[in-house]
Amino acid sequence: MDENGVLFDEVSEVLLKLRPFLLRDGGDAELVEVENGIAKLRFLGACNGCPSATITLKVAIERAILEEIDDIKEVVQVF
C-alpha cells in the first residue's frame, strides 16, 4: 500500500470516532481521497449544505485529524 493509502486508512479511523456526533445531528462525512497530505471530505445528509459545516470541518474534524496524524496538512471539503 502506498503512503496515500496508509493515510487514507488512518484518517478513516479518526472519522469513525467522530461519526457518532455527525450522525446524531442527521449528517455524516465521507472520506473521498487523501493526496499529498490533504484529506478531502464530502458532507452527507444534514451536513451537506449546512451553514455550520465549514466550522465543523475546520474546528472539529480537521483539528482531530491533525492531532492524530502528523502527515496530514489540511482537511478540505469537496462537493
Domain membership of residue 16 as a residue range: 3-77
Q: Which DSSP symbol is given to 60?
A: I
pLDDT at residue 20 is higher than 90: yes
3-state helix, strand, coil in the chain (%, to 5): 50, 25, 25
Task: Output the pLDDT for position 37.
Answer: 96
Please answer whether residues 10 and 69 qualify as being in contact, where contact means their C-beta atoms are separated by less than 8 angstroms.
yes
pLDDT at residue 1 is higher than 80: no
For residue 14, give the CATH number of its domain. Answer: 3.30.300.130
How many domains does one find in the chain?
1
pLDDT at residue 56 is higher than 90: yes
| pLDDT band at 2; cut points 50, 70, 90 | confident
Task: Output the pLDDT for position 4.
Answer: 87
Task: Output the pLDDT for position 9.
Answer: 98
